[in-house]
Amino acid sequence: MLSSSYICRNNSNPNLRDMIIGVPKEIKNNENRVALTPAGAKELVKRGHSVYVQHTAGEGSGFTDDQYTEAGAAILPTIEDVYAIAEMIMKVKEPIEPEYKLIKEDQLLFTYFHFASYEPLTKAMVASKSVCLAYETVEKADRSLPLLVPMSEVAGRMAIQKGANYLEKPLGGRGILLGGVPGTLPAKVIILGGGVVGTQAAWMAAGLGADVTIMDVSLPRMRYLADVMPANVKTMMSNEYNVREMIKDADLIVGAVLIPGAKAPHLITRDMLADMKKGAVLVDVAVDQGGCIETCKPTTHENPTYVIDEVVHYCVANMPGAVPYTSTLALTNATLPYAIQLADKGWKRAAQENAELVPGLNVIHGDIVYKAVAEAFDMDYVPVDKYLVD
């Protein structure tokens, strides 16, 4: 096991401290993304930080160990080595059970967590007394989620790509072509939620010629979408009555509902499946937040679908992992500026000086400091100010 004595600390700015950053290889099923590109590693190394990347961590995204070493990073052979040496761990997906024991007290973890959908993870991170800063709840003043946006863009587009595929008869679908052909009607696509995922899904479905309806609860958002979307995209207020009516004729339904940091509400319940067409397809992009379809359960790229009441469910929890080259580049573009701040200043000072990072803090030294996570499991909540006030 390596120790920090191996690190050469050479930052010439006395107001900054060098940080040891670890990038482990993702071990979740068929997760091929990596948290940092060689270009991102180079930017951190240029600032005097030490970057340790696990052997072959970038291969799934098309980046070799040699590219990382050329960028100034060091390669470590095992995931245990990376966790042992790092002060900040950069990941893509939440730690899974084999990683729990590797996480150290005071270690900063910067990754997607989606705590509210999985109590064992929450309890494990509380027990570790680490500092958990979640990509998905970093928030700008306008309430946008800058680190969720790039993966939401990918997932929204993929939802249509995958949905169109599973509408094919050999894969269990109705056997309908999304855009139809002259003389036939196109497929009807319902998108639940008009945020980033829903908007990207609508553009893709519309581009393929489908008959698209976006359902949302915000009139201002629907006015905006009505202005920018092509003529084959309509908007409708989302409520239980309208959802029940619309799904009767739907061929493809995309669940794209997000409540930042909290569990997604169930907009389609089990009993509603009986009203749907046989061979219709449900794609629940909200699955990593618990899903907005009651019959949703997380699946993997290895076994992506299952059928309930003759309705095909596609509920892969890491959809962007199927296009890791695009996803890794898009993710690093968004996360790197924040990673630099965390490395340069440490998490506390970085959060004090950049309010966007404050809601990203979910668990600190055994305390849950994000209210929606505490409420999801009826656990104690501690205001984050406890840790940010000097």
Active site residues per annotation: 114, 288
Is 285 marked as a binding-site residue?
A: yes
Distance CA 10, CA 17 (A): 9
DSSP annotation of 33: -
Find out whether 286 is annotated in a ligand binding site. yes
Looking only at the bridges linking them, the beta strands covering 311-314 and 305-308 are antiparallel
Find out whether 272 is annotated in a ligand binding site: no
Is 128 a known ligand-binding residue? no
Residue 13 annotated as binding site: no
How far is the CA of 332 from the CAs of 46, 164, 235, 285, in angstroms?
Answer: 16, 29, 33, 21
Q: Is 323 annotated as a binding residue?
A: no
Is the CB of residue 365 less than 8 Å from the CB of residue 103? no
Does 287 belong to an annotated binding site? Answer: yes
349 in a known ligand binding site:
no
Query: Which amino acid, 80?
Result: E
288 is in an annotated binding site: yes
Do the Cβ atoms of 187 and 177 come closer than 8 Å? yes
For 50-78, give one letter per residue: b (16+ CB within 10 A) or e: bbbbbbebbebbebebebbeebbbbbbee
Query: Is residue 33 marked as binding?
Result: yes
Output phi, psi for 238, to 5 deg. Answer: -90, 115
Cβ of 221: how many Cβ atoms within 10 Å?
Answer: 17
Say if residues 41 and 54 touch (Cβ distance below 8 Å): no
57 marked among binding-site residues? no
Was 216 annotated as part of a binding site? yes
Secondary structure of 279-314 as H, E, C letters: CCEEEEHHHHHCCCECCCCCECCCCCEEEECCEEEE
Q: Is 144 marked within a binding site?
A: no
Q: Do the annotations mark residue 319 as ligand-binding?
A: yes
Going by the annotation, the residues of the binding site are: 33, 93, 152, 216, 221, 238, 257-258, 285-288, 316-319
Going by the annotation, the residues of the binding site for NAD(+) are: 152, 216, 221, 238, 257-258, 285-288, 316-319
